[in-house]
Structure 1
Amino acid sequence: MNWNNFTFIDLFAGIGGIRLGFESVGGKCVFSSEFDEDACKTYEANFHEHPAGDITKIPAWTIPDFDILLGGFPCQAFSIIGKKEGFANETCGTLFFDIERILKIKRPKAFMLENVRNLVSHDNGKTFHVIRTHLEALGYHVYAQVLNALDYGVPQKRERIIIVGFLDDVKFEFPEPVELSERKTLSDILETDVDEKYYVRDEIRLSRLERLKDKNYPKPYISHENMSGSNTPHPYSSALRAGASANYILINDERRPTERELLRIQGFPDTYKIVVPYGKIKKQTGNSVAVPVIKAVAKQMITSLKEYNAAEEKKNGNAAKIKGFKAVNNPDYIPLEYIS
């Protein structure tokens, strides 16, 4: 197979962050699915297609054939019915089941899944154990690692588990962090001419500054108010969250990030279209992925698949040569020119 051109499906597509990562290495999306209609509106504006709706209602056989399955699936608590064990019960009530049933029917060469880092420790590790066990039971070789967006070029501390699987015994290593010189800083992503509507009221600003842990912290910074009420500045954003309060993060304790800045914090290009109000973009970016992380993983996956194919071709070529050599040296072998 030529991995310079491959196909993928984009499940739990959100606003297409994972899609952007795999398109960057030559992939073509042949199917997308997203439940949230506002996210679909943003997705359609940028990719010129409206994702199919609820994946739980879409039969796997109706999905076009594809090479790689992609999905940033929501993590719900796994439910085991009674004391029964087994395939259906372990995955009941979770959207992982829908990934599993599609993998089982369509048998793509590879997959990449993304989720919160707490997936590893959820239910004392049982949830992740069930996921990994079921993926391996389908015949996939599975790799998993928590990656931090800060290490891949965006000013956001966002730790997410990436789960990668291959049908063949592909050797895979997760991408190394990028050089410091290649990482964007807050100064790189902040806008200079910002409308007054993003600025907080004086009482909020003064309250935040009063509780700022380091009052001499150099600008620009992004502060994050934690549950206890302390206000901590950083030269990067804390992880964007879909359901966070309006002032969850503030730039220099003065204003909220703009829509474009929220997208830049996640590594979306400036060509990305904004077609919904601020509150919805805030939710959508909080639910999305850090695009540079996905790009790095996608590049590594395709490199590994190409290396596997090259090794297999070499192995098969050598096997054919050896077989031909034995045939020529077989005393019962008769060259074609002597057969009348």
Structure 2
Amino acid sequence: MVKAARFTFIDLFAGIGGCRLGFERAGGECLYTSEWDAYARKTYEANFDLQDQHPFDGDITQVDAADIPDHDVLVAGFPCQPFSIAGVSKKNALGRPHGFNDPTQGTLFFDVARIIDKKRPRAFLLENVRNLMSHDKGRTFEVIRERLESELGYEFHSRVFDSREVVPQGRKRIVMVGFDKDTFPQGTRFDLNAVDLDGKYPRMGEVLHGAVTDGVELPYTDSRGNAAEKYVLSDRLWTYLQDYRAKHRGAGNGFGYGIVGPNDVSRTLSARYYKDGSEILVNRGAGLNPRRLTPRECARIMGFPDSFRIPVSDTRAYKQFGNSVVVPVIESVARAMAPWVAPASEALAVRP
């Protein structure tokens, strides 16, 4: 593994801090955070030591880029809903705009671009849904690439990572990395495709309560360490989900719940998981209703450590983890970037 080099970064659209956690593990120091959602901020603040001098802003559209500290890396998981398959489908059904036409979330990429333009970090990392590449027949992705590469002058790299290598969840996300051509006039030898996740391809048994020796964690478990009874689906909801699946299967569609056991890999956890949990249900055995994942299990399939605090309700926690990044993926990319983004004297000692 490449030795971590010390560098600084800022955390935009920070959510609950998944990107920050990955970059800190790679040797980075966070100088600035922006996140508009009050509940996500609560979780973030519960898990990171925010010194008095560490700015934590809300709406990035109202922030003057000149007020943001200088930094080596800009990190941003800018909102994915305008580009996600589910988000686009929902907005089409409602007759609402999506992508860059979304009047709120869709234009937030340009706030990332204006900050890069003003602060000229040595590098950036952006994360989004895989559908970003195909949205609007590829034009959305080309706008982003053109802005970053041709207009702002950054060497541009992109790759779709499948998180099943490091967590028991099928989750494909695009990571975009760029390096300032003024800082690296001869270019870099950075190869995003060569980033090794060191994957062990884990299974759900490694994250489920009762299947791992994780002990008791109220209110997510009972006194024996098994998932609490409140996560078991009611007879009414379980019947509805079975009927819904049968209806769509009869019509030749693949809609319906996904059920997993200890030896399986789950579907993608989404922000809507709080509604019925249907995309990831845990099999409890023949004749027993399945259950939802607990928030702690959701944290685990996103790669968060058990020491990560969850100070919000289950509903908020499901939304937060469903919107988050997979921490080990970000950490692997950050470690590969570290030798290039650290201050020159230190970076040269560890640069490949």
TM range (shorter): 0.7 to 0.9
- Matched residue type, 1:60: A
Q: Distance in 1 between matches of 2:254 and 2:245?
A: 14
- Structure 1 residue 288 and structure 2 residue 308: aligned? no
**Deviation of residue 39 (structure 1)?**
0.2
- Matched residue type, 1:189: V
**Deviation of residue 233 (structure 1)?**
4.7
- Matched residue type, 1:287: N
| 2:229 alignment counterpart | 196
- Matched residue type, 1:242: A
User: Structure 1 residues 240, 92: closer, same or farther in 2, change over 3 A?
Assistant: closer
- Structure 1 residue 247 and structure 2 residue 248: aligned? no
User: Structure 1 residues 60, 269: closer, same or farther in 2, change over 3 A?
Assistant: same
**Deviation of residue 304 (structure 1)?**
4.8
For the 8 Å contact 1:79–1:92, the answer to whether it is kept is no
**Deviation of residue 204 (structure 1)?**
4.0
User: Structure 1 residues 26, 238: closer, same or farther in 2, change over 3 A?
Assistant: same
Q: How does 1:6-45 map to 2 (within 5 A)?
A: 6-45=7-46
- Structure 1 residue 173 and structure 2 residue 173: aligned? no
User: Structure 1 residues 71, 45: closer, same or farther in 2, change over 3 A?
Assistant: same
User: Structure 1 residues 311, 37: closer, same or farther in 2, change over 3 A?
Assistant: closer
TM (norm. structure 1) is: 0.77
User: Structure 1 residues 279, 159: closer, same or farther in 2, change over 3 A?
Assistant: same
User: Structure 1 residues 42, 231: closer, same or farther in 2, change over 3 A?
Assistant: closer
**Deviation of residue 25 (structure 1)?**
1.0
Q: Distance in 2 between matches of 1:66 and 1:35?
A: 21
| Aligned Cα root-mean-square deviation (Å) | 3.0
SS of aligned partner of 2:315: helix
User: Structure 1 residues 92, 45: closer, same or farther in 2, change over 3 A?
Assistant: closer
| 2:205 alignment counterpart | 187
**Deviation of residue 312 (structure 1)?**
7.5
- Matched residue type, 1:78: F
Q: Distance in 2 between matches of 1:160 and 1:93?
A: 17
Q: Percent identity?
A: 46
- Matched residue type, 1:14: G
User: Structure 1 residues 281, 92: closer, same or farther in 2, change over 3 A?
Assistant: closer
**Deviation of residue 185 (structure 1)?**
2.0
Among 130, 133, 136, the residue aligned to 1:123: 136
Q: Distance in 1 between matches of 2:11 and 2:146?
A: 23
- Pair member with larger Rg: 1
**Deviation of residue 51 (structure 1)?**
3.0
Aligned length: 287
- Matched residue type, 1:281: A
Q: How does 1:211-290 map to 2 (within 5 A)?
A: 228-229=255-256, 231=258, 233=260, 235-244=264-273, 245-248=275-278, 249-252=280-283, 254-290=290-326
**Deviation of residue 144 (structure 1)?**
0.4
| 1:150 alignment counterpart | 164
SS of aligned partner of 2:291: coil
After superposition, give the CA deviation of every residue in 1:213-234 in whole Å (9 maximum; x if it has no partner): 9xxxxxxxxxxxx863365657
Q: Distance in 1 between matches of 2:318 and 2:46?
A: 17
Among 134, 137, 153, the residue aligned to 1:139: 153
User: Structure 1 residues 36, 257: closer, same or farther in 2, change over 3 A?
Assistant: same
SS of aligned partner of 2:9: strand
SS of aligned partner of 2:276: coil
User: Structure 1 residues 92, 262: closer, same or farther in 2, change over 3 A?
Assistant: closer
**Deviation of residue 195 (structure 1)?**
1.0
For the 8 Å contact 1:211–1:231, the answer to whether it is kept is no
- Structure 1 residue 78 and structure 2 residue 100: aligned? yes
For the 8 Å contact 2:73–2:121, the answer to whether it is kept is yes
For the 8 Å contact 2:122–2:341, the answer to whether it is kept is no
TM (norm. structure 2) is: 0.74
SS of aligned partner of 1:237: coil
- Matched residue type, 2:198: V
SS of aligned partner of 1:28: strand
**Deviation of residue 105 (structure 1)?**
0.7
- Matched residue type, 1:247: G
For the 8 Å contact 2:13–2:34, the answer to whether it is kept is yes
Q: Distance in 2 between matches of 1:311 and 1:291?
A: 24
Which residues of structure 2 form unaligned runs of 5+? 83-98, 211-225, 247-252, 285-289
Q: Distance in 1 between matches of 2:164 and 2:76?
A: 21
User: Structure 1 residues 265, 288: closer, same or farther in 2, change over 3 A?
Assistant: same
For the 8 Å contact 1:110–1:165, the answer to whether it is kept is yes
Which residues of structure 1 form unaligned runs of 5+? 81-90, 214-225, 314-340
User: Structure 1 residues 189, 3: closer, same or farther in 2, change over 3 A?
Assistant: closer
**Deviation of residue 208 (structure 1)?**
5.7
Report which structure shows greater RCO (CA 8 Å, sep ≥6).
2
